[in-house]
Amino acid sequence: MKTVIIRNATIYTGEQVLNQGSLIISGGKIQGLFPDEPVPVQDCHVIDATGLLAIPGLIDLHFHGYGEFAITETTALSRLLVSQGVTGFLPTLMTGNPEFVISALHLLAATHGAGDGARILGINLEGPFLNPEQSGAQPRHCLMKPDPREASRLLEAGGNMVRLMTIAPELPGALDIIEFLHLNGVIPAAGHIQATCAEMLAAEDRGLCHVTHLFNRSGSFHHREPGLIGWALTRGQVTVELIPEHHHLHPLAVELTLRCKSPDRVILVSDNVPHNLRDCVLSENGAVMAPDRTLLGSAQSLLQGVFWLVDTLGIDLGFGLRLASLNPARLLGIENRKGSLEPGKDADLVLLRGRTPVLTMVEGKMVYDQLSAR
């Protein structure tokens, strides 16, 4: 594979911004990062990125599918995601018929590492041990009481690919499941719950460290019972997901989170769902809703969510990008190779013209290219 030089780009590395900077890419890795044009490499492919932004590839931890594609259609979804600036993702399974979920886990585990699009970095299980009173888009009749045997069966079917599981810690037996997940390298996450603050503290002691789409199906906050929300906003080691669009969150809820949490403990997710989910309705503004107007998820891409934050809160673009690239990489423990543009890391990057991806590389391979069509 030829060495690639991307020159004259405005580069958002994850730590700084380089104007008219250049990147040298070889062997699937970023070999050099320069504030000006590097020394030409013999027999290299040069990409003139004048007027373009170079950003780290985004990582979506909470993605159920998109458009007409179910989450098990990974080849199509991986190719779609790179056109939206996402280079890595966790396919996320909703609660469903147990045998269907097991079958889907086998399929997702078998497709790990395949294809020419966004990389599957693991599997996310949203359920089945959730509170029926906060089921939301999760089918209530498929929810289960916490069961160690079922938890073991799910992890085994995922072939060591399950990285994240959402659970309601107030349910009887949930604390044992949380500890089991933690000891087996799976990130236990709180979501679809009505837990008290005391129950959250007990779950934290057993290994719970992450919150699935904070504020959405998170119970309520009261000054005498702060619940999950108060716990999540004040516990320094806890990471939280936010769905950055106005159907799911008021901008002030996002601002509150960013004021309370350390910058490296907030992660943006899309919570995209297929548009044909449960006879859903796709609103003009990008929300996916059930016929009764229950929110099922979002049709807004993760990159669009980053720019929503920039527009609504006036935050710096580089900061917004870190919430969708470096922070999820940190949660997964892969920040040494993904999440930012630094020498030695995988060449997962996106070139933007304005806000539109025109070229995406995954591990140094061009998997989406609209520049050559000019």
Contact (Cβ atoms closer than 8 angstroms) between residue 232 and residue 240: yes
Burial grade of 338 (CB within 10 A; 0-12, 13-18, 19 or more): buried
At 357, list the tokens: 């991806």
**Any idea what the Cα angle at residue 55 is, between residues 52 and 57, rounded to 5°?**
130
pLDDT score recorded for residue 294: 77
d(CA 275, CA 68): 6
Contact (Cβ atoms closer than 8 angstroms) between residue 316 and residue 322: no
Cis, bond preceding 128 (omega within 30 deg of 0): yes
Block mean pLDDT (10 aa), the chain, length 374: 91 94 95 82 88 98 93 94 98 94 95 83 96 82 94 96 97 98 98 95 97 91 92 97 92 97 97 76 70 82 97 97 99 98 98 98 96 72
pTM for the model: 0.96
The dihedral sign for the CA sequence 247, 250, 253, 258 = positive
pLDDT score recorded for residue 295: 79
HEC readout, the chain: CCEEEEEEEEEECCCCEEEEEEEEEECCEEEEEECCCCCCCCCEEEEECCCCEEEECEEEEEEEEEECEECCCHHHHHHHHHCCCEEEEEEEEECCCHHHHHHHHHHHHHCCCCCCCCEECCEEEECCCCCHHHCCCCCHHHCCCCCHHHHHHHHHHCCCCEEEEEECCCCCCHHHHHHHHHHCCCEEEECCCCCCHHHHHHHHHCCCCEECCCCCCCCCCECCECHHHHHHHHCCCCEEEECCCCCCCCHHHHHHHHHHCCHHHEEECCCEEECCHHHCEECCCCEEECCCCCEEEECCCHHHHHHHHHHHHCCCHHHHHHHCCHHHHHHHCCCCCCCCCCCCCECCEEEEECCEEEEEEECCEEEEECCCCC
Q: 44-47 contacts: CB < 8 A, separation 24 or more?
A: 44/2, 44/3, 44/4, 44/5, 45/2, 45/3, 45/4, 45/5, 46/4, 46/5, 46/7, 47/4, 47/5, 47/6, 47/7, 47/351, 47/359, 47/371
Domains of the chain (ranges, CATH numbers) = 3-55+341-369 (2.30.40.10), 58-332 (3.20.20.140)
At 299, list the tokens: 């049709």
- Tell me phi and psi for residue 187, to 5 degrees: -80, 115
**Angle of the 98-110 helix axis to the 148-157 helix axis, nearest 10:** 30
pLDDT score recorded for residue 373: 65
At 6, list the tokens: 């991307």
pLDDT score recorded for residue 209: 97
